[in-house]
Each structure stands twice: as C-alpha cells, then as structure tokens.
Homo-oligomer: A and B are copies of this chain.
Amino acid sequence: MQLRMTNQREMILRELKKSKGHLSADELYERVKKFMPRISLATVYRNLEILSDARMIRKLEISGRQKRYDSVLVDHDHIYCVECHRIENLELGTSDVKLPVGEAKGYTITGRRLEVTGLCPVCQKKITKSKKIK
C-alpha cells in the first residue's frame, strides 16, 4: 500500500502543523473547510488515522470525549485542564518518570503516557470569582 499525497491530506497536515495545538477532528475539519469547502468530515478522520499510522502525526487518546491530534512527534507529555479541557505540552525529562524496565506483569512495554491534570490559569480566575456566589 502506497500513500498518495492528495490535496486534502496535504491541507490537513499543514493546518495541524500550523495550529501547533491539539486539535480534534472536527476542529481541524472547520479549519480545513475554509480552504476546501467541499471536504468531508470523514476524510479528515480517515486521513488523521492514516497519517498517524504512518507516524507522520500523533493520535492522543487522552481522557475526555474526543480524540486529539498532535503534529509534534517528539516524545512529550501533556497537561490538561479539568475545567475547560485545554491541552498543553509538558516537557519532562525522561528521567522524571521511572518505569519498570522491560517487563511488568509479563507485559512487553511499548510506551507510556503521562497525563497531568490541573486547573489552567484562566479557569483558576473564573473559579475564584464564582466562589463568592456559592
């Protein structure tokens, strides 16, 4: 199976890289649609899957409803806001997480995912305000 670089695929890749964020499929769909009004949401999903299989992007199966996609391939972790679900990158040295090397429970370990949860600065303010009401 050879993968072609179609206009749609190229555009999806470009917009994901441009955003530098962690977009969901439909957010990306909205952005791409500005340039290609006739693109289908299914195409976005399909290409995100294909690109992620091809290791050209990364699928984040982080908590929450929607999957998100990241154009940054280098290993890194994420921090996300429990209130507004914003996701940001987190640079932790690999030395910051000690893992059972090689095996644990008979598993062959292929990776790890560290997700830090918290309140982002914006939501902290919001909550401080609404406390008065409560």
Contact = CB atoms under 8 A, between A and B. Distances in A.
Contacts of A61: 63-64
Contact of A120 (B90, B95, B107, B124): B107
Nearest to A112: B116
Interface of A: 61-64, 79, 81-82, 88, 90, 92, 95-100, 104-121, 124
30 contacts: A61-B63, A63-B113, A79-B104, A79-B107, A82-B110, A90-B104, A90-B105, A92-B98, A92-B99, A92-B100, A96-B97, A96-B99, A97-B97, A97-B114, A104-B116, A106-B120, A106-B121, A107-B118, A107-B121, A108-B118, A108-B124, A109-B117, A109-B118, A110-B117, A110-B119, A112-B114, A113-B115, A113-B117, A114-B114, A115-B115
